Amino acid sequence: MQQGAEVYQKLKSLAKKKYGQSAGNVGDEGGVAPDIQTADEALTLITDAIEQSGYTGKIKIAMDVASSEFYKTEEKKYDLDFKNPDSDPTKWVTYEQLADQYRDLAKKYPIVSIEDPFAEDDWEAWSYFYKNSDFQIVGDDLTVTNPTFIKKAIETKACNALLLKVNQIGTITEAIQAAKDAYAAGWGVMVSHRSGETEDVTIADIAVGLRAGEIKTGAPARSERLAKLNQILRIEEELGSNAVYAGTKFRTAVNL
């Protein structure tokens, strides 16, 4: 957590230096929001922050691509220039081309996990990527913490990790069952916050209680994001020497 906090502050500093003071403003989940045009540009900035913080080789990157946002349903292609209202349709890419881009990025940057690499309705793309990649592939929009979609994703080999949003499925009981279904399939589980959050810390307790090994709760900024991180620290203090840190085994933390 200390490493993450230090890299975050360095990233904020680098963003303001390169893109102007406004780049230090934070978004809904605490992340900085510089005017970046490409994934390569963003990842370079992040790895520079990691390096300048002294953590090269110790920190890995997990991406949330949210690709449903730039999927062209009729053409079944992805518009990487989607922020441009006049984007060139001839430059839209197929899912195979997008998968190649992910693999190329992973050769340059320490990427270990990709969430929603393809659109929620592009099941063929997910299965293709699953067969041809060794990333952790996290289903969020694909599964929406729904048992029916989780079962389909398991059967079609679409992904290998579940983004668990408790208030998306509706009850703690159903959330626990969703995690159990994921574990039974050999998946990883990433317990997640929502964009609109409160200072409730329940998901921190759930992440530890389920032995998830992964939690997505925003940057170390904004009180509703920090609340979860502080709760994890309190849990660690309470557990003492019984606390287990999964580290690089985050995908199979439940088995530790």
- Please state the three-class secondary structure of 154-204 as a single string: HHCCCCCEEEECHHHHCCHHHHHHHHHHHHHCCCEEEEECCCCCCCCCHHH
CA of residue 3 relative to chain centroid, distance = 18
Which residue is associated with the tokens 């992973």? Answer: 106
Amino acid at 58: K
Contact 8, 220 (CB under 8 A): yes
CA of residue 162 relative to chain centroid, distance = 10
Contact 187, 210 (CB under 8 A): no
In angstroms, the CA 32 to CA 22 distance is 9
Amino acid at 9: Q
State the CB neighbour count (10 A cutoff) for residue 149: 17
Which residues are known to be catalytic? 29, 165
Tokens of 75: 């053409």
